Structure 1
């Protein structure tokens, strides 16, 4: 999925990937499949036609690749779950929706750290809450790492994919400290240890869907390519 082929919006939010447009209804269906464990259960919850939903999943997969893993029968009774590609698609949709509704509200969290490893333009920076993978300068150790609030994804611990199953290589467990809601978006402040607070920009719909409130445990994740380190003078 090409990250640069992103935005198309009309009355509802739409994510354009190649020639396919993923809509709010598509995203709602995929999330319901993840929550209820099958397309049949998802359509029952959403009060939609199973045949239409099944056909739409097939259409999306023809354009985007595998989205739903289907298990048939067996001792577990079968069911469906989302692929890594589907989870990445949902994250992209969330970022698009957030950007469309709150572009001017983007904040940055800046962490001081030290580059301990380099591999081309990417590197590992040792910061107070732990190691952060980021775009790093070619020289120097002392850096400031900037993390944009619209690049952060929040996931309930029970729904978070394993670290090796996602392209978001930066991952911290944390607790929601405060939710500052605006008309369409909210800034969610998450403590991730050692006094560090990361700020995530999410839609109000996501706040409700994820049950984000003070004390809620979440997994914070963000991509290395969305995180930039700049040189600083050592103390």
Structure 2
């Protein structure tokens, strides 16, 4: 397990000097899905040469991960070896354990993947469409988007920068439901109203039924005072797509905060 500069825990498998992380897991999943290294690289917006180079580096440390077949009567392609599948399973178990023990609260929204653009996915949820880095999902998949409280920026209502002026394209309006005060960091709870019509057409049931969905944001004491954050005040939330993750889910899982 490693820790990001922002203090978020992340899963990493290490063998010698080589580390297997989320980007590597995404690549293996996409190879398994498409049956081709070239197709996987294209789907993820990476070059085939770079994908092959990364696979070779991983295989030097972890063993044979991808079986590559040349064209012939049955056609060419690639598939994961038993070692590759076991490595991916190990990583998934570690990633789940890290997520379960993470100290930074998250909001998890359920929905349906509507668009894929390289490594970015757009998920339609009961409170809008949001973009995030995806882990091998496809258009039409039921999925979740995880938004860490430390990735959310609060603004005064109506004072959100224009989309072209910031990289934080995900945005919402809400009402402060409460503030949990720490010595130097405040956890702000923000209620955002869910859709009253049952959510997006064709999407999964998030379980909100129009109920408010609670987001959390971390603020320093100074920032909380500057924004005059208190229960009942209206605020705007923004967060970067690169600070969120879209992962495969199961239809019917509720929208929740943790």
For residues 223 and 111 of structure 2, the distance between their equivalents in structure 1, rounded to whole angstroms, comes to 31
Of 108, 127, 130, which residue of structure 2 is paired with 1:129? Answer: 127
The CA deviation at 1:193 is 1.3
Q: Does 1:197 align with 2:189?
A: no
Counterpart contact for 1:128–1:196, Cα < 8 Å:
no
Q: Does 1:182 align with 2:182?
A: yes
For residues 184 and 142 of structure 1, the distance between their equivalents in structure 2, rounded to whole angstroms, comes to 38
Residue of structure 1 in register with 2:172 after alignment: 172
Higher relative contact order (CA 8 A, sep 6+): 2
Larger radius of gyration: 2
Cα deviation per residue 1:66-113 (whole Å; 9 max; x = unaligned)?
Answer: xxxxxxxxxxxxxxxxxxxxxxxxxxxxxxxxxxxxxx8521111111
For residues 190 and 147 of structure 2, the distance between their equivalents in structure 1, rounded to whole angstroms, comes to 13
For residues 151 and 230 of structure 2, the distance between their equivalents in structure 1, rounded to whole angstroms, comes to 20
Q: Does 1:162 align with 2:154?
A: no
Residue of structure 1 in register with 2:108 after alignment: 110
The CA deviation at 1:5 is 9.6
The CA deviation at 1:148 is 0.5
Flag the 1:205–1:182 CA change in 2: closer, same or farther, 3 A: same
For residues 146 and 5 of structure 2, the distance between their equivalents in structure 1, rounded to whole angstroms, comes to 25
The residue correspondences of 1:1-235 to structure 2 (distance < 5 A) are 106-140=104-138, 141-194=141-194, 195-235=212-252
Aligned residues between the structures: 136
Counterpart contact for 2:110–2:143, Cα < 8 Å:
yes
TM-score (norm 2): 0.49
Q: Which runs of 5+ in 1 are unaligned?
A: 7-103
Structure 1 segments of 4 or more deviating over 3 A?
none
TM-score (norm 1): 0.54
Q: Which runs of 5+ in 2 are unaligned?
A: 7-101, 195-211, 253-258
The CA deviation at 1:158 is 4.2
For residues 229 and 146 of structure 2, the distance between their equivalents in structure 1, rounded to whole angstroms, comes to 24
For residues 165 and 182 of structure 1, the distance between their equivalents in structure 2, rounded to whole angstroms, comes to 32
The CA deviation at 1:233 is 2.3
